[in-house]
Structure 1
Amino acid sequence: MGQESRNQTWVSEFILLGLSRDWGTQVSLFVLVLVMYLMTVVGNSLIILLITLDSRLHTPMYFFLSVLSFIDLCYSNSIAPQMLVHLLSAQKSIPFHNCVFQLCISLALGGSEFFLLGAMAYDRYVAVCHPLHYTVIMHGGLCLGLAAGCLAAGFTNSLMETIITFHLPLCHNVINHFACETLAVLRLACVDISFNQVMVAVSGFLVIVLPCSLVLFSYARIVAAILQISSTQGRSKAFGTCASHLTVVCMCFGATTFTYLGPRSTSSVDKEKVISLFYTVVAPMLNPMIYSLRNREVVAALHKVLENVR
């Protein structure tokens, strides 16, 4: 680890406590996480492949869906493989620079996903409220710009938060978490972290509250437009185009809001781990299922690919 001076430790590696210290529980978690991770990789890769191969899916909605799947795939890969190795390891260590990289990448991809969900909500708003001008408004250049902007915003926010977090002097190197996560790393600091807590709140506002506000505004307009549709079939179809996206929004924003904007207490560490596990492993696995099982076009594209393979 390194030399110590005035209670400050120069860290060369971190020790992760993980989810459990019981061997039987760790083996059970390994099997569970491995299954979910494999489903995440297969599901999101399949979504990207189907959208790429089927020309009928070359629309703004599916473009954003493919970007979402790519982000989920990368996000899961940034944490899950290391988690699987540590679940079967006695020494759960991670080099300092790997920890910095993991925190930066996971924050960047997580933030990008929230901004992307806001962009997807705008896409659904245009589709429902301005259907005749949809292709003109949501042209390729705008879609690419929105996706690039979401990624740029996520990485910019992550870089700032990572620098501020690891600039702190650390008293020890034992992280009470299964991954390098902002709040868990902040607990290692030897100094007052009030400024960092404020920055985490500001970051949470920018990454969570702003996209969520855009989602709420978009869906308020969408609901108002749908209620003006006279036919029951028309209303059902309009709601159907938004149901999958709204499900993912509630799932992702709900879990992360509780973690970063919820009340802080020493007893909340275990809850933090469980919620982090949810949006690290479970949510990326569920997203392709939610979109594919509820979407006839995606299912039709899958059948077409399977028939061509035969």
Structure 2
Amino acid sequence: MKIFVAFLFVHLIAGILCSEADEPKNTQNPEMLFGTYIDMLRALRLNHLNNYDEAVKQAVIDKCKKNGGPKAFDDAKESLLSLQNSIDSLIIDTVNQVQLVGSESWNAQEQIPRLCNTFITVLNSTKLALNSVRPCLDEAESATANIMYNMRFAAADSVCGNNGSNLISFYTARGFECIANLPRRECSVQMPPRDNSTVLTDGVRIADAPWSYERSYPSLNECKSIRTAKICAVERLSGCEQPEPASVTTSVYDAIEKAAGCENILNAEASSAA
């Protein structure tokens, strides 16, 4: 299910934790934060249809016209392009600000709430872009798109809610430096086998196409994958000197599980197995 590909903060941390690099990195906390923030913004851009061949593009256009009428494709394209341009401009402004102020003199207590407020504003804009795409989707696809957005918002709210208190805690505990320098270790649990049972309904079902959502709700196997990723991340983060990196990551994963409906799915599976 493609909606589980990007979980913003958690996904980016997982990428660092799964890095093949074994040697410690001379990475400063501010630099890691800025890099993560910019990657989080990029994750909201959605992929551009120009990344796909003409057959896929035409399939998307035909689907939009079929489900939403003759203007559906153009309206969706315009809305997504506007979102992408806004995010690109914000990334440039952020880079310029960092260069102007300098990471060494950057105050986390003052700046993290500002970054979080900007990020939530952009995330809300992605909801408007999603609504512009909705006429191109059938009912089941639209429901799946809602889950995708709810998961993203839950993760962002967990990180940035209450004026970014969780992110401030993670940052001041030097969480970014910790995860960049932790040695690799085996996880106590293994990822479940890849779930290949999802049936792709037509030629538009291309991974991460900007308005392509598989017609399915989270499966038990997908929910187990999220739970396993949480366990493995927290196990490794337990190697940090302070507990905040592990506790913050746990709370974000918990929010994602709940938003996806995985909490109920996994609890039901555990009850039936008892």
Under a length normalisation based on structure 2, what TM-score does the superposition of the two structures give?
0.41
Looking at secondary structure, tell me which structure has more strand per residue: 1
Looking at secondary structure, tell me which structure has more helix per residue: 1
Under a length normalisation based on structure 1, what TM-score does the superposition of the two structures give?
0.38
